Amino acid sequence: MLTTNLTASTPGRICLFGEHLDYLGLPVIAAAIDRRVALTARPDPIDRRFRIRLPDIDQQVNISFDGGRLPYPHDRDYLRSSVNVLLQEGFTFSRGVEATVRGTIPINAGASSSSALIVSWLNVLSQLADVPRHLPPMTLAELAYRAEVLEFGEPGGMMDHFATAVGNVIYLESQRPDGTSAITLETLTPQLGTFVLGDSREPKDTIGILRRVKLGMLDVVQRIRQSRPDFSLHTAALTDVPEFKDQLSKDEYILLKGTLANRDLLREARTLLQTPSANVRAFDGRLGTLLTEHQANLRDAQRISTPKIDRMLEAALSAGALGGKINGSGGGGSMFVYAPTGADAVADAIDRVGGKAYVVRVAEGTTLTTD
């Protein structure tokens, strides 16, 4: 029986391009960042419970366990749902687990603190099961998506789980143009400098915004297909949008234009990030411009930004950042900017307008160590 401590460390993430696209079956580009959740655990041979201490938020969770599926006493109960997903995969636990969670990712800020926690928990649990099994990052990501999204019928996509589990910069597709599910992941290796993540400290309405934007876009697609059965967000050109103006409300028309524009920005960004550049200044400048163009659509079409986040972005750009955008579902939460030089001054500017800034770099994915 394992008697040493196991520690799983998993990064947070920023969504570079494709915000509010992945759950529509469109691609996304995301980067893991060097603010992480570390979960340290060991088996408890006496008590079969799962006992998880969370000193950062001064809480402790005690989960009684008899070997069967766990009920959910409240929504978004990810510690229990992770156990249930592993039970569905044939894992069994005849011993309890003691764990402590510490993290440096801003909580409820759109930087994937919850996904990082789930990936870390799954990583450790799979090693503390009666029959331990090594789960590669892609498998951990898929299980984490099931535990966080599918178990609770939520409307989110897969970006958070793959970005945190796999790490570094990834291009992710979760659906083919014909609508069938198929995960395609490409690791990108651009030489990126520092980013500055800014927590607005405004609470997010993740589920409300996802339902409004996702369901609103799906309704638009369904209505267009009544007259154009072959319409697809994968293949439609931005120049096609005026054809549907009479079928849509003003807000729906703007949402459709913004969605396709963001898709096209992502495609350009992918090419940029795939192509080594000897002209670092030109590369950095273009990346910043694409981020800012993405933000303009998210602010005006998806309407997920807030006045405070807009002020934080303006302050950061005035202090020398090259570009940036809101991060995550929006309506609060965080933003980030690309600041390969002068990152500390940019962070100070964000702090002065009421945010909480963190200088971050691209980081590796989930890791597992013993001590």
What pTM value is reported for the model?
0.94
Which amino acid is present at 71?
P
Q: How close are the terminal C-alpha atoms of the chain, in Å?
A: 15
Mean pLDDT of 335-349: 98
pLDDT over 90 (residue 211):
no
**How far apart are the C-alpha atoms of 91 and 95, rounded to whole Å?**
12
Q: What is the pLDDT of residue 3?
A: 62
Cβ atoms 62, 48 nearer than 8 A: no
Q: What is the pLDDT of residue 47?
A: 87
pLDDT over 60 (residue 1):
no
Q: What is the pLDDT of residue 181?
A: 77
Cβ atoms 266, 59 nearer than 8 A: no
With CA atoms as reference, report the closest residue to 94 among 47, 143, 40: 47
For the chain, give the longest Cα–Cα distance.
68
Structure-block tokens of residue 311: 């002020």
Mean pLDDT of 183-211: 91
Tokens 């599918």 sit on residue: 150
Residue 178 binned pLDDT confidence (cut-offs 50, 70, 90): low
Structure-block tokens of residue 365: 């994915």
**How far apart are the C-alpha atoms of 144 and 93, rounded to whole Å?**
19
pLDDT over 90 (residue 63):
yes
pLDDT over 70 (residue 2):
no
Q: C-alpha angle 50/148/120, rounded to 5°?
A: 50
Tokens 């993290």 sit on residue: 103
For residue range 276-301, list pLDDT tens digits in order.
887 999 999 999 999 999 999 999 99
With CA atoms as reference, report the closest residue to 168 among 19, 17, 33: 33
CA distances from 42 to 47, 132, 172 (A): 12, 13, 34
With CA atoms as reference, report the closest residue to 115 among 282, 365, 368, 371: 365
For residue range 4-52, list pLDDT tens digits in order.
799 999 999 999 999 999 889 899 999 999 999 999 999 987 889 999 9
Mean pLDDT of the chain: 94
Alpha helix segments (H runs only) across 28-136: 78-88, 113-128
**How far apart are the C-alpha atoms of 174 and 180, rounded to whole Å?**
9
CA distances from 322 to 103, 236, 282 (A): 28, 30, 11
pLDDT over 70 (residue 82):
yes
Percent over 70 (pLDDT), the chain:
99
**How far apart are the C-alpha atoms of 258 and 237, rounded to whole Å?**
12
pLDDT over 90 (residue 88):
yes
Q: C-alpha angle 256/258/264, rounded to 5°?
A: 105
pLDDT over 90 (residue 203):
no
Q: C-alpha angle 85/86/91, rounded to 5°?
A: 150
Structure-block tokens of residue 43: 């088996």
Q: What is the pLDDT of residue 210?
A: 80
Q: Which residues pair with 33 in a beta bridge?
A: 12, 362
- Structural domains of the chain ordered from first start: 6-192 (3.30.230.10), 195-360 (3.30.70.890)
CB neighbourhood size of 150 (10 A): 12
With CA atoms as reference, report the closest residue to 87 among 48, 42, 126, 44: 126
With CA atoms as reference, report the closest residue to 27 among 18, 15, 36: 18
With CA atoms as reference, report the closest residue to 54 among 91, 129, 14, 107: 107
Q: What is the pLDDT of residue 167?
A: 98
For residue range 225-282, list pLDDT tens digits in order.
999 999 999 999 999 999 999 999 999 999 999 999 999 999 999 999 998 887 999 9
* DSSP code per residue over 210-244: HHHHHHHHHHHHHHHHHH-TT--TTT--GGGGGGG
Q: What one-character DSSP code corresponds to residue 102?
A: E
Cβ atoms 72, 80 nearer than 8 A: yes
Mean pLDDT of 342-357: 98
